[in-house]
Structure 1
Amino acid sequence: MKESSLDKAARAAGISLHFTDINGEIQSISDETKRALLAVMDNADRGKKSPLPPVVVFSGRTKRQLTPRGRGAYHWQLRSENGKIFEGEVQGEALFTLPSPLGQGYHHLTLSQGRQQWHMRIIVTPRRCYLPPALRAGEKRWGALVQLYTLRSATNWGIGDFGDLQQMLEQLAAQGGDFVGLNPLHALYPASPDFASPYSPSSRRWLNIIYIDVAQVVDFQQSAAAQRWWKSAKTQRAVAKARDEEWVDYDAVMALKLTALRHAWAQFQPRDKDDEDKRTFAAFVQEGGDSLYYQAAYDGLQAERRAENAQHWGWPAWPEDWRNSQLPEVQRWCEQHEDEIAFWQWLQYLAQQQFSRCWQISQTRGMSIGLYRDLAVGVAEGSAETWHDPELYRLHASVGAPPDRLGPLGQYWGLPPMDPHVMQVRGYQPFIDMLRANMRDCGALRIDHVMSLLRLWWVPAGETADKGAYVAYPVEDLLGILALESQRQRCMVIGEDLGTVPKEIVSLLRNSGIFSWKVLWFEQQHDGKYRTPDEYPRQSIASASTHDLPTLSGFWEAGDLLLGEKIGLYPGDAVQPLHQQRAAQKQALLNVLHQAGSLSASSPRQADKLFMSPRLNQAIHRFLANTHSALLGLQPEDWLGMTTPVNVPGTVDQYPNWRRKLTQPLEKIFANTEVKKLLKTVSQQRKTN
């Protein structure tokens, strides 16, 4: 049957005409959705008049050839990344082989014909991402998976901070651990601190300033005004209250920290311009460029507008004249508030300095990975990035997920997608900048929803998620750039590939050297049996759970199901089958623990008669430590036998997501006899298996 003009246009724009549902059946995308997404894209003929595409990526040893469109002779000049210049002539429509040797990196080709010139970026990439020497040598390493805000300590101000992270690294290294894996540390919203999801950031290039350890800031220590404020009874009561809260009180913590940091800023400002910290800060600002400037401007402007009107939570709620960083009203505000902008830039500087110090500590302790960061799949609609660069994002759509059993209408995440066409026109620079920012000062980068490199489910604004469609991304180009930046930054890559993973990306990820994520709960075969430790792939990280799933104790005691029932997540007739499924999972897990020798032969073999205990907890950790996976990530929640989750997917107000703290402070966790015994077992098993 002849393809319609609508289908041709959709396909040309990268919109998939079909998708495979959770039952394996192929579903067609409606014409209404195709039209809506084409309108969202506003996909003009970007770059079509040029004889060359805006960018081309050559991976590995592939032939580096181009064919310029058009007629007549062209003069070409190629400037390599290291400044070497090649030039010559080529005919239109003729095959053109790039000069050799042309090493890995970013090169620039200029094509000329008469007075006309066209420019093109050429990117030459390796085939695989970086792998630390220890893993190349076949060693197996383990670490802790930490939601930084959950950490308690005797010194923090009610939220885990970079000072706590330093302590965590020191303590973990002493127990044989090799890394601390972190939640996304992306910039959020200081003027609206209750918008706390690390997966709905304001920017993926900058840090969340709430993690600054104020006590470490030299200008806070040296400011007489800051110290008077700090030592006052009122301040001490407020800090003690925030520290003792069961849930993170973001409003209270942010208010305390901003007050303290304003005092510190007043101390920093009069420093001589030749002061070393002043020079370092000036260099940081220059390097950050427009991205840092407008991130700081947005934070300052948002604070001002929110103070005047609580409904002005972000730029979509502001008057029309303020909804873009380049509008005249905004530019006038920036000119009049240079000092305020500098303050927010300074906070980013402090955060980066402290995070860098954490990385340095991990390296002095001999950790091969040290730290790994988490890259969220997008930014929120009311973010600094969409405010400053609206062209890059399709603001009338959101990323989400197609319908499945748990969500019959699909999922709508409220994250406007990056436009792949704009990314290409810009030579993939936004993607490159984002990778560099997140690979800085760490040994691994976890990419949330790694399938986004291949495709994303776009939902037109105002529609339910079942009215969406998959939009394709240039996966091979993105994987090549990912490998190049990974090698240059000496930062390995982990892909969160849970859920429905399209077959076409599995081998691409594996061949690119990206580590897969293997969560114990999901490692079941079709017959219900759990995979044995030797069935886990080497190129993977194993874990018991994630921030979106129940803890070990929560799983075993079905605490997640009881909580879901309590807050109304399940229809009345859906709960009992879930409990039956959980009972079968527990029995299958107990069976594999015995099969693998993680439990002694005398241990109970009936799961319904076995409660979670330190002994069972040790056995599950021993099983995980014995997996063939090169990496193992453990959650402190599981060391402590905690049952409450940090996040309940699909909820907004029903549960206080991203706020639950650990039950014990760091000082007690690593002094806990059971915890030390568990970590010793894990460390020994990782070395001997």
Structure 2
Amino acid sequence: MTELPGSLVDLAHQYGVATTYDDWMGGHRAVAESTLVSVLTALGVEAATEEERQASLTAREGDHWRRTLPPVVVMRAGRPTSFWVHVTDGDPVGGWIRLEDGTVRTGLRQLQNDRPPYDLDGRSIGEATFELPADLPVGYHRLHVDAGGVDGDAALIVSPAVLKLPASLGGGRTWGLATQLYSVRSERSWGIGDLTDLADLAVWSAAQYGAGFILANPLHAAAPAAPMEPSPYLPTSRRFVNPMYLRVEAIPEFAYVRDRGGLRKARSIAQAKAKKAALIDRDAAWKSKRAALEAVYRVRRSAGRELAYAAYRRREGRSLDDFAIWCALAEKHGNDWHGWPERLQHPADPAVAAFAVKRADAVDFHRWLQWQLDDQLTGAQATAIQAGMSLGVMHDLAVGVDPNGADAWALQDTLALGVSVGAPPDEYNQLGQDWSQPPWRPDQLIERGYEPFRALVNAVLRHAGGLRIDHVIGLFRLWWIPNGAAPTEGTYVRYDHEALIGIVALEAQRAGAVVVGEDLGTVEPWVRDYLDERGLLGTSILWFELDRDGDGGPLPARRWREYCLSSVTRTICHRRRDTWRANTCGSGMSWGC
């Protein structure tokens, strides 16, 4: 392969784009120039020619020195760190912290900084360094400086050094069931499993067998218009939930629907059709359930319920509005926003606001659905805990979203367009994989103080005793594939794992939840060590736990990793109908077999 231009290598490294990587067989591979140019373009960087690359390098350096503060500073509790401040050389500078509880911390200690001033368009810019003390509380704070009369502020995130296991585990192990909720049907569900079925399964498994948790498939939202995406790992939104999982009769206003008998008859018909079908028909189930939900939505709410709904809307804010507007737009124009009229393709366009006003009822219906889901998810978790589960419901966080869906539309300025996430060739997929999902732009996450990621993790953990993160290596690096290229023609893009894992730990600590990272596949040993250091559990699968230093047979359970979620199989492996010996791995899953 032709040697890469030095300017391209420099630019790639500054943006965290790998120019080489080690393949699954241990070989060292160079990344093609065309791949690097495409990936940098997806990051908003012009890099096709030497002139463009030099201009991009110069612009990046200038942008750095124009900043008074970095966009965000992330630190671990108990460990002091530092941050820089840019100010006209010689001007005085001072800093303080406003903690999230409103308390102000002053007296930040200035450290020695011998970096020479930088000439920025004829202005001499100096750099000062301040220390952030180790005793700052965990949370989301604001950092403030007065630099020569210029005020600056930045996000300050203090994460727990270690995510401790919830006290509810009592320092011991627990086990639980893993289920695909859509398959957990009962006589009272509408042909597809729902959140009441989830709660009932939790009660049954806890009361009869002492289960400590129940792991559900990703419950992320799917597009509202048929056909519904069958894979829960390719959602339209990860922050919001699929209303297909609502139990209509559990909504308080159902009691005031005039034609309740008609709705129950519709449920019976849907259930009868589902029993006869060989496969689960999501579209049919959603069609009948949606009609019932619309009838319940039309019921006038009590004053108390109206206040509760208003409080929910305030809490969720603009993100809920964007999601609901996208759903209403998708019902009118189709599930792929790229095919919509141009003026509707960005949430900030005035035409979108005009549509939301014109179709206010349709938009509000989708907001209301999410409120009902929030209520029923809260109820499912509470029921699981009341039944004696130590953790309750464990949710599953998918790697990414549908590029044509709600999150990709609402967050298009924070996601990388023109590329998709996948995986390089490995032992099991020697052509590599393309998952058709747009990745986060690491630079834009930093610019926004990680707010979109914080909101996502907070939403998923709000009703959970545990969280499983699919492909947790994606919080360290992701394999980006330019659109139209083969999976073999991608490269790795690095993320600030200290920040992302720190946010996960912070949100999980506040939720009292355990976090499991799916760390299978091509994962460097240091990543597993890091996850263990931060208190995130790993994953062990019976199929893959082999005595590679011995006879190649199953590895005895006593030699498995201790801090992990262990199971017989996983979503992409074949299911087993055999009865495993109890001393092989225990019942279902456990923390360290």
**TM-score over 0.5 for the pair:** yes
In 2, distance between residues paired with 1:260 and 1:47?
55
CA 1:146/1:403 → structure 2, altered by over 3 Å: closer, same or farther?
same
Q: Does structure 1 conserve the Cα–Cα contact (< 8 Å) formed by 2:169 and 2:391?
A: no
Aligned to 1:538: 562
Q: Which residue of 2 aligns with 1:121?
A: 155
1:579-658 to structure 2, matched below 5 A, reads: 612=578, 617-619=579-581, 621-625=582-586, 630=591
| Contact 1:188-1:203 within 8 A present in 2 as well | yes
Match of 1:260 in 2: 292
User: In the TM superposition, what are the counterparts of 1:300-449 in structure 2 within 5 Å?
Assistant: 300-305=328-333, 312-449=334-471
Q: State whether structure 2 residue 80 is matched by structure 1 residue 59.
A: no
SS in 2 for 1:141: coil
Match of 2:185 among 123, 131, 152: 152
Within the alignment, does 1:279 sit opposite 2:301 as a pair?
no
RMSD: 2.2
Instruction: Provide the residue aligned with 1:15 in structure 2.
Output: 17
1:1-41 per-residue CA deviation (whole Å, 9 max, x = no partner) reads 99711111111110111122121111110111111111111
Q: Which residue of 1 aligns with 2:138?
A: 104
SS at 1:224 equivalent = coil
Structure-2 change in CA distance of 1:314 and 1:47 (3 Å): farther
Q: What is the alpha-carbon distance in structure 2 between the residues aligned to residue 361 and residue 423 of structure 1?
A: 36
SS at match of 1:302: helix
Cα distance in 1 between the residues matched to 2:416 and 2:248: 38
Aligned residue for 1:65, secondary structure, equals strand
CA–CA distance in structure 2, aligned partners of residues 125 and 208 of structure 1: 30
Aligned to 2:575: 551
**What residue number does 1:211 align with?**
245
User: Residue by residue, what CA displacement relative to the aligned partner does 1:472-498 show, whole Å, maximum 9, x if unpaired?
Assistant: 000112222222211111111000011
Q: CA deviation at 1:361?
A: 0.6
Q: Any idea what the Cα deviations from partners look like across 1:309-337, whole Å, max 9, x if unmatched? A: xxx33202222222112223222110112
Which residue of the partner structure matches residue 460 of structure 1?
482
Instruction: Tell me if the contact between 1:454 and 1:474 (Cα under 8 Å) persists in the aligned partners.
Output: yes
Distance 1:431 1:47, change over 3 A: farther
**Structure-2 change in CA distance of 1:315 and 1:2 (3 Å):** closer
Q: How many residues align?
A: 556
Alpha-carbon spacing, 1:287–1:472, altered in 2? closer, same or farther (3 Å): same
Q: Distance in 2 between matches of 1:434 and 1:314?
A: 22
Q: What is the deviation of 1:626? A: 8.3
Once the two structures are superposed, residues 100-123 of structure 1 have per-residue CA deviations (whole angstroms, 9 ceiling, x without a partner) of 742221221122234422211222
Q: Assess if the C-alpha contact under 8 Å between 2:162 and 2:533 holds in 1.
A: yes
- Within a 5 Å distance, the mapping from 1:463-482 to structure 2 comes to 463-482=485-504
- Partner of 2:85: helix, strand, or coil? coil
| Structure 1 residues 58 and 220, CA gap change in structure 2 (3 angstroms) | same
For residues 341 and 589 of structure 2, the distance between their equivalents in structure 1, rounded to whole angstroms, comes to 56
Q: Are residues 299 and 36 of structure 1, via their aligned partners in 2, closer, same or farther at CA, if it must alter by over 3 Å?
A: same
Normalising by the residue count of structure 1, what TM-score does the alignment of the two structures yield?
0.77
The amino acid of 1:280's aligned partner reads: A
In structure 1, the residue matched to 2:117 is: none
Letter aligned with residue 564 of structure 2: S
Cα offsets for 1:166-207 (capped at 9, x unmatched)? 110111011211110011011111213431211111111111
- Closer/same/farther in 2, CA of residues 410 and 48 from structure 1, 3 Å limit: farther
Give the equivalent residue in structure 2 for 1:172.
Answer: 205
SS at 2:273 equivalent: helix
Counterpart among 523, 528, 532 of residue 501 in structure 1? 523
Q: Using the TM superposition, give the Cα deviation of residue 412 of structure 1 relative to its aligned residue in structure 2, in angstroms.
A: 0.8
Who is 1:24 aligned against? 26
Structure 2 SS opposite 1:326: coil
How many Å separate the matches in 1 of 2:524 and 2:35? 22
Contact 2:476–2:497 (CA under 8 A) maintained in structure 1: yes
The counterpart of 2:98, out of the listed 79, 83, 89, is: 79
Identity, % of aligned positions = 33
Measure how far apart 1:95 and its partner are: 3.5
Which structure shows the higher strand fraction? 2
* Structure-2 residue corresponding to 1:594: none
Unpaired segments ≥5 residues, structure 1: 306-311, 554-611, 633-689
In structure 1, C-alpha distance between the alignment counterparts of 2:569 and 2:99, rounded to whole Å: 46
Q: Could you tell me how far apart the structure 2 residues matched to 1:495 and 1:324 are?
A: 34
- Deviation of the 1:83 alpha carbon: 1.5
The Cα of 1:243 is off from its aligned counterpart by 3.9
For 2:31 and 2:133, locate their aligned partners in 1 and report how far apart those are by CA, in whole Å.
Answer: 45
Answer yes or no: is the 8 Å Cα contact 1:190–1:299 preserved in 2: yes
Question: Contact conserved, 2:80 with 2:133, CA < 8 A, in 1?
Answer: no
Q: CA deviation at 1:467?
A: 1.0
For 1:6, the equivalent position in structure 2 comes to 8
Amino acid at match of 1:287: R
**C-alpha deviations, 1:238-287, integer Å up to 9, x for none?**
441024322111111111011001111111xx335xx2221111111111
The 3 A distance-change label for structure 1 pair 499 and 223 is same
Greater CA drift, 46-55 or 450-459: 46-55
CA contact under 8 A between 1:141 and 1:630: conserved in structure 2?
yes
Task: Tell me the distance in 2 between the aligned counterparts of 1:8 and 1:224.
Answer: 68
Q: Provide structure 2 residue ranges, at least 5 long, that are not aligned to the other structure.
A: 46-58, 114-125
Query: Residues 477 and 13 (structure 1 numbering): CA distance in 2 closer, same or farther, change over 3 Å?
Result: same
For 2:80, the aligned partner's letter is K
**Does the CA contact (< 8 Å) of 1:141 and 1:631 recur in 2?**
no
Assess if the C-alpha contact under 8 Å between 2:77 and 2:137 holds in 1: no
Say yes or no: does 1:192 pair with 2:226: yes
2-structure distance, mates of 1:543, 1:2: 45
Superimposed CA distance per residue, residues 62-116 of structure 1 (whole angstroms, 9 cap, x where no aligned partner): 2232332342221323212221223458695344223574222122112223442
Q: 1:75 to 1:372 in 2, by over 3 A?
A: same
Which amino acid letter does the alignment assign opposite residue 7 of structure 1? Answer: V
How far did residue 229 of structure 1 move? 4.6
**Pair 1:5–1:316, CA change in 2 (3 A):** same
Match of 1:666 in 2: none
Q: Report the more deviating stretch, 63-72 or 90-99.
A: 90-99
Q: Following the alignment from structure 1 to structure 2, what is the Cα–Cα distance between the partners of residues 335 and 48?
A: 43
- Which secondary structure does the structure 2 equivalent of 1:390 belong to? coil
- 1:400–1:458 contact (8 Å) kept in structure 2: yes
SS at match of 2:157: strand
1:37 corresponds to which residue?
Answer: 39
AA aligned opposite 2:404? G
CA gap 1:81/1:192 in 2 versus in 1, 3 angstroms: same
